[in-house]
Structure 1
Amino acid sequence: MTLKTRLLGLTSVLTVAATIFTASPAMAATIETGHLDVFDVDYNAANNTLTLDLRTYEPDNDDLSPAGTVLRVVPAATATIPSGTAWQCLGPAGTSMYVAPQTLVSDRLYAGWNTTDVPAAQGPVKLELTGWSGPPGSRFALYTTAGFPATPSFKLNTNPATGCPVSVWPGGIASGTHAHGNWAFSTAGTYTLTFRATALNGAGATSGAVTYTFQAG
């Protein structure tokens, strides 16, 4: 074998090795079914901060960064806005929205929140929607329902109509909470929502701004 042949062979090996070991840009993980907590709030006593991330339960119980994660409300997950003044801040009666529901449905996102790792001395947790973007004219709302007939309690709402916007969770989220709600998006498309969690007692621990990505439709 000539020196030239050996060098060409070595070049080929190095090229293949570079191809194998060069890292590709990470693809965003998309979650569209199953139980997760969108707001997983934990307290770090060592540096007096809150962490705000995602918590998954299926298939693993694990924390997950919102960065690089897309939460999808599938096209079939739609609901019609009821009539009545209690619902007017959700949008015009009779129109439909994409909704990840408060109750478990097998082929839907079952999204909630938890503050189970926040000590009572630090709570409740102030949860703020500090910024958002979505398709032109779109709206986002997070609400719970109770009673019969069901009535909504809005926790967050971007509807600009008079009396409708809610950017700070009313009363905060009590320590030790694990609950679920309805995550509603008026229009198909991508939404980016930025939140901040702050402990209302103690030394005012905060998470800083954390951005989530939702895909409706």
Structure 2
Amino acid sequence: MIARLAAAALAAGIALLTTGTAHAAVTLSSGHVDALDVDWTGSALTLDVRDSTVSPAVDRDPSTVTFNAVSASRTTVPSSAAYSFLGTPGSPVWILPQSQVSGILWPGFDTAGVPSGVLQGNTLTVKLVSVTGPADFSVYTTSSFGTPTVWFDSGNGLPDTRSLAVNTHAHANWAFEAAGTYTAVFEITATKAAGGTVTSGQKSYTFTVQL
């Protein structure tokens, strides 16, 4: 029995090394991570988390990761009407920022694992399928002039979709309008250049937001 268990453990370790995907549960609170890391297997799209808070970086199943918005990520909603999607001006909002800030998690999007030519138009679609949590969740970018562009917003109905080109590495602001735990479900879809659709399947992401 002991020999069989040892053999099973060894086989699992070999499989982990082969796939390059780490499955141990972790909480990420600071540093760089590609929350939505999209790769191409040769016939299908995959969606995982590329964790660069460790060296060397590892791929993780989203179900094993908790993204933590620490209390230092708390700020207030700007007075500009352009930010009304975040709530009432002056009210608290927690933001994992577009630009890296020490001590705060810096999540991004990465499609560099999808080679040019395999998808129609060299683009794929990121879909925010659903969100559960204590308040609204949104993802948006801010221009150099401070103008926001909303990518996803659970406050005005879901699903929301956003097209991304292959070989893209991008960052945005991830905003939470109250403390607590959120579950966001994402899916990647595309049309193959040769015809036919492909999907990563729906993946659940967990976020904890601290007071």
Q: Do both share a fold (TM > 0.5)?
A: yes
Per the alignment, do residues 182 and 166 of structure 1 end up closer, same or farther by CA in structure 2, a change over 3 Å counting?
Answer: farther
Tell me how many residue pairs correspond in the alignment. 184
Per the alignment, do residues 187 and 35 of structure 1 end up closer, same or farther by CA in structure 2, a change over 3 Å counting?
Answer: same
Alignment partner, residue 168 of structure 1 = 160
Query: Gaps spanning 5+ residues in structure 2: where?
Result: 1-8, 10-22
Q: TM-score, structure 1 length as denominator? A: 0.79
Query: Which 4+ residue blocks in structure 1 deviate beyond 6 angstroms?
Result: none
SS at match of 1:105: coil
Alignment partner, residue 101 of structure 2 = 105
Alignment partner, residue 13 of structure 2 = none
Q: Does 1:216 align with 2:190?
A: no
Q: Of residues 39, 44, 54 in structure 2, which corresponds to 1:49?
A: 44
**C-alpha RMSD of the superposition:** 2.0
Q: Does 1:74 align with 2:70?
A: yes
CA radius of gyration, larger in: 1
Alignment partner, residue 194 of structure 1 = 185
Deviations 1:107-132 (A, max 9, x none): 00011010001123213111111122
SS at match of 1:115: strand
Instruction: Give 2:159's aligned amino acid.
Output: S
Paired residues of 2:131 and 2:137 also in contact (CA < 8 A): no
Instruction: Give 2:92's aligned amino acid.
Output: S
Of Structure 1 and Structure 2, which has the larger fraction of its residues in helix? 2
Deviations 1:155-192 (A, max 9, x none): 110113xxxx463333x011110011111101111101
Q: Of residues 133, 137, 142 in structure 1, which corresponds to 2:139?
A: 142
Deviations 1:83-111 (A, max 9, x none): 22211112111112111111111100011
Alignment partner, residue 172 of structure 2 = 181
Q: Sequence identity, in percent?
A: 36
Q: Distance in 1 between matches of 2:173 and 2:89?
A: 17
Query: Gaps spanning 5+ residues in structure 1: where?
Result: 1-20
Q: Distance in 2 between matches of 1:29 and 1:44?
A: 25
Per the alignment, do residues 211 and 195 of structure 1 end up closer, same or farther by CA in structure 2, a change over 3 Å counting?
Answer: same
